[in-house]
Structure 1
Amino acid sequence: MTKHFLTALFAAGLAYSSVAQTTFPRNGVYDERPGLYAFTNATIIVDPKTTLQNATLLIRDGRVEAVGTSVTVPAGTVVADLKGKRIYPALIDIDSDYGMPDMTRGPGGGRGGVPQYESNKKGAYYWNQAIQPENEASVLFKSNPVKADELRKLGFGAVLTHPHDGIARGTGTLVILADDRENTLVLKPNATAHYSFSKGSSGQQYPNSMMGSVALLRQAMYDADWYKRSGGKEQANMSLDALNRNQTLPAIFDANDKLGIMRADKIGDEFGVQYIIRSSGDEYQRIDEVKATGASLIVPLNFPQPYDVEDAWDADNVALAELKHWEMAPMNAGRLAVANISFALTTAGLKNKADFWANLRKAIENGLPEQKALEALTTIPARLIRADDQIGTLQKGHIANFIITSGNLFSADNVIYENWMRGKQYIVTNKDASDLRGTWNLTVGSQSNLKLNITGKSADKLEYQILADTIKITPKVAISGDLISIQVPLDKKAGTTRLTGYRTTPTNIKGDGETPDGKAITWSAARAVDTPRSTTGVSTTATSSTLASTTAVSSMLYPFVGMGNTQKPKAETILIKNATVWTNEKDGILTNTDVFVTDGKISKVGKNLPVPADIKVVDGTGKHLTNGIIDEHSHIALLSINEGGQSSSAEVRMSDVINPEDINIYRQLAGGVTTSQLLHGSANAIGGQSAIVKLKWGESADGMLIKGADGFIKFALGENVKQSNYPNPGVLTRFPQSRMGVEQVFMDHFTRAKEYAKGWATYNKFSAKEKATAIVPRRDIELDALAEILANKRFITCHSYVQSEINMLLNVADSLGFKINTFTHILEGYKLADKMAKHGVGGSSFADWWAYKVEVHDAIPYNAALMHRQGVTVSINSDDAEMARRLNQEAAKTIEYGGMTEEDAWKMVTLNPAKLLHLDNRLGSIRVGKDADLVLWNASPLAIYARPEITMIDGTIYFSLKDEDHKHDLMQAERGRLIQKMLTAKASGASTTRPMPKRARMWHCEDVEGVMAEGQGQAEQQSK
């Protein structure tokens, strides 16, 4: 019997492969032979750009000795002829948890249990269990033969593994997937440093939000720097010591989703680190922003299944973004390649690792060039983790990690025969029984007119059919090595003929058999035609037909949700003529007036302005033009709003959790809102830092921020702060538990902030020589924010209701030397409006909310007007996503309740909030030189029937009533097309996912949410 591959040839030689010297004693005798192998006549892909035909790969002691077309094979070498076969570098996955212990979540943090505020980890570690850079994957690593074999079958030879637990996760280790002792498997013990936004197993209350995770990591990084410079003289901290050690390693950040990529990169910019970012496969939706980070990515291939949308009501639970992502996710890698973004591919995120190749081939069909795919699985991951001197190619001196295949690695019919690691062979598919697919001339006894057709998707998954003239017969076939057994009813009346034989050559089979009546016969088969299989090399580009089919199917949206724009809006030169213009200036309301907008600014206001050529002219006849509404108190477009794990969360920033894809941005543009202050909630006395944004639908989170705006911060008083409505009041919770305790929080924190600022001021006055020996103050980003308040560089917006508490905070501010900028809510402001005016604090109020909890029982609808009459700058805010869509009507209520003039009422949602936000030099009125944030209404803006026809920001139209129906029709047509495509996919046998209702989260001050799971923040807020 002829053996055509290496199994028998190497059986003796592989008794032991002398890859490396061992330090372990052995009992008994053992056979150690030199690991010297030559693989000849193969197509060798040395690296994604270098393919050698009829070449030889020489391996000595687990490393590549030589590769080329004229390699001299030394005497004593075990030689294998791989004519017609290929050799590729083994694949590399750099986001694995292979060999890591399972993560066990801590008991703390439950709503019904006892909250955990301090670390339970014993030892000289960091104060928060989510920061655990001291973890070393090489110490935790335990080989797992079952999981290793699963990855080897896919062609992987090495993985970078690390514990996926915590915000600072420790170091990763590079290991090969052989079956051996751990000390021989580890290639680089501390190869990489790892970070994420998830606190993992930590049961501590803090952080409970994405912004808290960002702040905790930032503080830990500053603490590590302090520890390195002088803190180590004061204390021992193994976590900070490890953080510093890890700074020299390639840093990988698990970013959750497309928005997380920018969030992680922002942290990296702050500390001078360029992270390698593990993404989620949705980067194509914001590819320009992703490219601007300069980061290399680790990209999963976990494509979503189609939804089961046969039921129309169920289909309504699927957002347009989810429908489009199902279709476009396979295009992600291809679009990254076109954008020239460096990326590696990973099996991470796949529920079934066996789906990896099917998904990768799907990505190739959707525009990913094969060369880029191979780079993403070999050279790029090796380079990113600085292991390209060992793995990733088959260059001389590299570790002998390679795979032997039947043909093109990316072809659907390719078979991976063997996976070699450090010169040790692992059989993936039985190579002795080579690919049988094709048509065979079959002779059974005296019957020579038979055809045996062998088909199948791969060489190890075959289907058989025998043709006897026009009759088709399906036999039962069993193959073991070269042995072949066939049972076939050639004559159904007579019974089953049994045949057994073996392959004499790759194209011939012979054997013996027995007819149904017991007669002995001989049989044979000769291959007539091979099944066509791919023989091409590594393709560098996708086919033009593939690219055409992918680009024609789906289009991008900005943002990638329902009612998104097919193109990003752009600033225009616009002349609005003959409108009634509410200037909010001394000129008051002007009739039949023109406003000219250029370069995002108001450049002219007047009557009968000349019309330049080639500009957009908007007829405002019978319509009202105002500046955009400004919402002083909003919680839209945020992934979370409360970091309530501590009494003060001054270190967190709402800018870290802006969600530019919240449909409420678009809805509020439709209500005339152009600017919002995105506030922290009221879970704690000292909340987080505000983000003041313009509602630029389709822009990035960073692009929405108003550059140069003053910094603000949220404080809070009352029931929420002292946790009056905590769901389990019998369980001890964090300080404070009373209104008296709230006062002490302010006194304590500002006293510490004063000392903190004083310490830095003293240190900064030192000479360079004095600084060299002085103890460097610890950078505390929480106290930084409070010190900014004391320095009049950050300003307070305080959640408030009750007169006594407002008095308390005013007294605290006066005693400690800082000011309150705005009391927001302040439904009892009418009781102390005179005192507010004396202090210089503004009031941002609801128009007529009351009686929704105990501390608002004294609220009255005249509150805003009464504060205004005492000289307080008053605005009307929403604190509610729905109410913000009709703030114009909320302002009008002050005319009914308090007798405000129309102009003064209108200023309460425009000029006055601009003043409270220190932006009245740019916003809040229509005046030459101000930002062109304008709204054209079909009626007086204070009328209940008023509706914006155009809403523009910086001269760019972000909402147009004229385009509304068309945009909605396009959205519905796209939904319909995708639903039909999903129905077809299900009918074709595709597995489907049941649509589940999703809660559209409308944040309010008291809402608390943990760190969101991957993509949840976006999915919960998308329009249908």
Structure 2
Amino acid sequence: MGGSVKAILGTMGLVAVLATGAGAQQATRTQPVEGMRDNGTGFHALVGARVVTGPGQVMDDATIVIRDGLIQEVGGGDAPAGARVWDLEGLTVYPGFIDAHADLGMDDVPEGGDVGPTHWNPQVRAWFSTTRNLQDDAGRRAALRSQGFGAALAVPSQGIFRGTASLVTLGDEGVRDRVLRPDIAQAIGFQRSFELGGSYPNSAMGTISLMKQTFMDADWYERAWGAYEASGRAFLPPETSEALAALEDATDGDQPVIFETGSEEEYLRAHSLASEFGLDAWYRGNGLEYRLIDVPRGRTEPLIVPLDFPDAPDVGHPGAALDASLADLRHWYLAPTSPAQLSDAGVSFAITTDGLSSLNEFLPNLRVAVARGLEADDALAALTTTPASWLGIDRTHGTIAEGKVANLIVSEGDLFAEEATVRDVWVQGRVYGVTRPAQFDPRGSWEIASDDEWGFQAVLVLEGPLNRLRGYLDIASTGPDLPGGARIDLESATAVAETGRIDVRFNGEVLGYQGMALLSGSVRGDDFFGWTSLPNGADPSFRGIRSEPFEGPARGTVAMDVPEIDLPFIRPMMDYGRTSIPEQPAAVVVRNATVWTQGAQGIIEGADLLVRAGTVEAVGMDLDAPGGAVEIDASGKHVTPGMIDPHIHSGVSAVNESGFAIVPEVRMGDVVTHNNIWMYRQAAGGLTTAHIKHGSANPIGGENVFVKMRWGLLPEDLKLENAPRTVKFALGENPKRRQGR
């Protein structure tokens, strides 16, 4: 009997292996199927299309044969017998996109907080797994598919150490069938999540300190447990920490670490951390890559670039134009060129949807990047072959080829042209029609009136970019208690495209109320109806109609169709940025100056000063100039030592780490910035060196840093070489003011 059972089980196992080897539209799974199993056809032939099989590779009038989720054939043949035929004449097929840093449905913050032996700091969540916490966010997946994506790296977003990212498919299969590669990278960010709790860290330097300590603790944890096991468990075991255990592969360099960077400084800090701890680092960029185009040149670390391009600064009237900084104007003009500049510099990069206020902005912004210089083939590579290679799925994804997964985009027109539309997206051999969202633009003028005796009548005017609406109310009421002819500027205005809802807030003082009023309603076509919530608790209803449509560019004010401007590269990219650093002559002689030596020689009139390689070599009369020295006639002028400020708080991203009272582990040198205008202004006033101190919120603060006012250099180059190390202590009232520690 036992032999018969074994034989039967062996036969069943052989059948299962053969079925798996043959491939199946219905993925092999262990969960029993209740009811009828879905055995729908997985045999398709897409015929007559222009097929872009990969970057720079095109086939005309081609046929793609799909069987059981895989591409069986790509070529010019006829559709095989038995296949469902899809006539794609006049359409173009591209490989499905891969998002290397996607925001997908996850329960990042469980109710009741983290439990178990995780980590003493709630911001350290390296133990968190996207694989175990994926949610059935069908709407998010559909939105990604509408932009051409068939697979994505789901990256957690909560905390500083955020947990592991997993590669998932974007079809509508169950959660068990969507994971392609589980937990393949650790995610880290420089911004804490307040909803996770914990008071420390609450500054940029505290965050970096926590990162460094955690990486060192993870290394210690691995060695401590190794020693415990090697001893035959001869002593008490070390503590248990799921977070530190989860970081073992990352600290050993066997698992990538994705740093999310929100600024150019955070990119530089992430690179410094990766170098210090020997990490296999990937970087999620920030849209400011054009400012550091010389820094990543030639590097091979994966760089994931968002397409969150800015709208034009408001220059509609002289006052607003004065408020538009050079940095803002440059950012508006140059941000869409970042992908092209990276490509021209030979930097390997992928493109992500992450950071967009709406996924519907992705394809339009991608086309802006192409219009601003990015080659279409490079754009396609950044969305297909490049992320596929990084994520270890280049054998199965990234191109249209025999044996690969059938992830496809069917486009009406050139996908990278402004007029193109995505018609269908295929994910693992299943076709998903793309529903184009209705265009909802609330901008323009709306005539509204209350439905009751309140007598409110007004014209609501909405204008500006869709993601930063502004406007006003022109009161036209003849009601007994309401002023006519008054204009009220809106405090805020938002519109929700998915629901057709408009919410505006304004100060009720002009209407005789103390406090803010809310006007909230829904739009159906040109009709607008809703309620007004007043500070006195009343909520009269209103109705309205659109009286004037908005007239403006359909693409908003992203810099797409703009004239070419030859903007020189400057650092920092703001007012008074430098195109280059002044060359240091081998020797300089200053002649006939009044020299304030601040030493035993006192003040010397008509003196010469010899500087060689940046160091004062001699002060005296009639000094001989070395060959090739630069000579400066300083007759009638004074020369003094450069001023030194022993206590300054500018030029850094943060000043106080007040999460704990005692924080000597934090370092101001970790958060030096190179784009603080005060450095330029202080240098103009004669300041050459400064001692940047931690703030006074702590009895024992952090380590201070000495800097030179080398305007135009990057943060590490501003630090004074071989400077003494100091720590900030604070007495008196300031440390006492910080409550809750």
Partner of 2:661: 647
Residue 354 of structure 1 pairs with residue 360 of structure 2: yes
Letter in 1 for 2:412: S
Partner of 1:591: 605
The Cα of 1:88 is off from its aligned counterpart by: 0.8
Letter in 2 for 1:569: P
Partner of 2:244: 240
Letter in 2 for 1:169: R
The Cα of 1:596 is off from its aligned counterpart by: 3.4
The Cα of 1:378 is off from its aligned counterpart by: 1.1
The Cα of 1:608 is off from its aligned counterpart by: 3.3
Per the normalisation by structure 1, the TM-score is 0.54
The Cα of 1:103 is off from its aligned counterpart by: 5.4
Q: Mapping of 1:454-533 within 5 angstroms?
A: none
Alpha-carbon distance between aligned partners in 2 of 1:646 and 1:320, rounded to the nearest angstrom? 38
Alpha-carbon distance between aligned partners in 2 of 1:282 and 1:45, rounded to the nearest angstrom? 31
Partner of 1:209: 203
CA deviation vs aligned residue, 1:30-63 (integer Å, no higher than 9, x gap): 5514522232343222221332333332222111
Partner of 2:396: 390
Partner of 1:223: 217
CA contact (8 A) 2:649 2:694 kept: yes
Alpha-carbon distance between aligned partners in 2 of 1:679 and 1:322, rounded to the nearest angstrom? 29
> In 2 relative to 1, CA 30–105 (structure 1 residues): closer, same or farther, beyond 3 Å?
closer
CA contact (8 A) 1:154 1:357 kept: yes
Deviating more after overlay: 391-400 vs 348-357: 391-400
Letter in 2 for 1:236: T
The Cα of 1:613 is off from its aligned counterpart by: 7.8
CA contact (8 A) 1:331 1:550 kept: no
The Cα of 1:602 is off from its aligned counterpart by: 3.3
Partner of 1:517: none
Question: Structure 1: which 5+ residue stretches go unaligned?
Answer: 1-15, 107-119, 431-545, 735-1024
Q: Mapping of 1:473-872 within 5 angstroms?
A: 549-552=563-566, 554-573=567-586, 574-609=588-623, 616-721=630-735, 723=736, 725-726=737-738, 733-734=740-741
Letter in 2 for 1:339: A
Residue 79 of structure 1 pairs with residue 85 of structure 2: yes
CA deviation vs aligned residue, 1:365-386 (integer Å, no higher than 9, x gap): 2121112111111112222222
Q: Mapping of 1:325-404 within 5 angstroms?
A: 325-404=331-410
Residue 21 of structure 1 pairs with residue 28 of structure 2: yes
3-state SS, counterpart of residue 152 of structure 1: helix
Q: Mapping of 1:40-189 within 5 angstroms?
A: 40-69=47-76, 74-101=80-107, 121-189=114-182
The Cα of 1:562 is off from its aligned counterpart by: 1.4
Alpha-carbon distance between aligned partners in 2 of 1:131 and 1:230, rounded to the nearest angstrom? 20
CA deviation vs aligned residue, 1:834-860 (integer Å, no higher than 9, x gap): xxxxxxxxxxxxxxxxxxxxxxxxxxx
Higher relative contact order (CA 8 A, sep 6+): 1
Partner of 2:434: 428
The Cα of 1:423 is off from its aligned counterpart by: 0.3
Partner of 1:262: 268
CA deviation vs aligned residue, 1:133-187 (integer Å, no higher than 9, x gap): 1111111111222222211111111111122001110011111111121111111
CA deviation vs aligned residue, 1:847-883 (integer Å, no higher than 9, x gap): xxxxxxxxxxxxxxxxxxxxxxxxxxxxxxxxxxxxx
CA deviation vs aligned residue, 1:178-229 (integer Å, no higher than 9, x gap): 1121111111121221001122133211001011011111111111111111
> In 2 relative to 1, CA 606–49 (structure 1 residues): closer, same or farther, beyond 3 Å?
farther
CA contact (8 A) 2:108 2:158 kept: no
Alpha-carbon distance between aligned partners in 2 of 1:367 and 1:599, rounded to the nearest angstrom? 43
Letter in 1 for 2:69: G
CA deviation vs aligned residue, 1:511-546 (integer Å, no higher than 9, x gap): xxxxxxxxxxxxxxxxxxxxxxxxxxxxxxxxxxx9
CA radius of gyration, larger in? 1
CA deviation vs aligned residue, 1:230-270 (integer Å, no higher than 9, x gap): 15732211111112145532221111111110101111111
> In 2 relative to 1, CA 698–293 (structure 1 residues): closer, same or farther, beyond 3 Å?
farther
3-state SS, counterpart of residue 294 of structure 2: helix
Alpha-carbon distance between aligned partners in 2 of 1:294 and 1:82, rounded to the nearest angstrom? 39
> In 2 relative to 1, CA 142–611 (structure 1 residues): closer, same or farther, beyond 3 Å?
same
Letter in 2 for 1:185: R
Letter in 1 for 2:367: R
> In 2 relative to 1, CA 165–429 (structure 1 residues): closer, same or farther, beyond 3 Å?
closer
Deviating more after overlay: 313-322 vs 697-706: 313-322
> In 2 relative to 1, CA 227–85 (structure 1 residues): closer, same or farther, beyond 3 Å?
same
CA deviation vs aligned residue, 1:692-740 (integer Å, no higher than 9, x gap): 111100100001012332322222223223x1x34x6xxxx33xxxxxx
Alpha-carbon distance between aligned partners in 1 of 2:110 and 2:182, rounded to the nearest angstrom? 24
3-state SS, counterpart of residue 711 of structure 1: coil
The Cα of 1:312 is off from its aligned counterpart by: 2.9
3-state SS, counterpart of residue 350 of structure 2: strand
Letter in 2 for 1:658: V
Per the normalisation by structure 2, the TM-score is 0.74
Deviating more after overlay: 181-190 vs 94-103: 94-103
- Count, aligned residues: 582
CA contact (8 A) 1:404 1:419 kept: yes
The Cα of 1:22 is off from its aligned counterpart by: 3.9
Letter in 1 for 2:70: R
Alpha-carbon distance between aligned partners in 2 of 1:164 and 1:589, rounded to the nearest angstrom? 61
Alpha-carbon distance between aligned partners in 2 of 1:236 and 1:166, rounded to the nearest angstrom? 20
> In 2 relative to 1, CA 163–555 (structure 1 residues): closer, same or farther, beyond 3 Å?
same
The Cα of 1:398 is off from its aligned counterpart by: 2.1
Partner of 1:314: 320
The Cα of 1:615 is off from its aligned counterpart by: 5.8
The Cα of 1:591 is off from its aligned counterpart by: 1.9
CA deviation vs aligned residue, 1:901-956 (integer Å, no higher than 9, x gap): xxxxxxxxxxxxxxxxxxxxxxxxxxxxxxxxxxxxxxxxxxxxxxxxxxxxxxxx
Alpha-carbon distance between aligned partners in 2 of 1:319 and 1:202, rounded to the nearest angstrom? 36
The Cα of 1:587 is off from its aligned counterpart by: 2.8
Partner of 1:489: none
Partner of 2:492: none
> In 2 relative to 1, CA 628–31 (structure 1 residues): closer, same or farther, beyond 3 Å?
closer
The Cα of 1:293 is off from its aligned counterpart by: 6.3
The Cα of 1:68 is off from its aligned counterpart by: 3.6
> In 2 relative to 1, CA 79–92 (structure 1 residues): closer, same or farther, beyond 3 Å?
same
Letter in 2 for 1:697: W
Alpha-carbon distance between aligned partners in 1 of 2:713 and 2:406, rounded to the nearest angstrom? 48
Partner of 2:231: none
> In 2 relative to 1, CA 396–627 (structure 1 residues): closer, same or farther, beyond 3 Å?
farther
Alpha-carbon distance between aligned partners in 1 of 2:663 and 2:143, rounded to the nearest angstrom? 46
Considering only aligned residues, what root-mean-square deviation do their CA atoms show, in Å?
2.6
Deviating more after overlay: 624-633 vs 253-262: 624-633
> In 2 relative to 1, CA 19–57 (structure 1 residues): closer, same or farther, beyond 3 Å?
farther
Residue 251 of structure 1 pairs with residue 257 of structure 2: yes
Alpha-carbon distance between aligned partners in 2 of 1:636 and 1:652, rounded to the nearest angstrom? 17
Question: Structure 2: which 5+ residue stretches go unaligned?
Answer: 1-22, 229-236, 437-559
3-state SS, counterpart of residue 219 of structure 1: helix
Alpha-carbon distance between aligned partners in 2 of 1:707 and 1:310, rounded to the nearest angstrom? 47
Q: Mapping of 1:946-965 within 5 angstroms?
A: none
Letter in 1 for 2:649: H
Alpha-carbon distance between aligned partners in 1 of 2:107 and 2:562, rounded to the nearest angstrom? 46
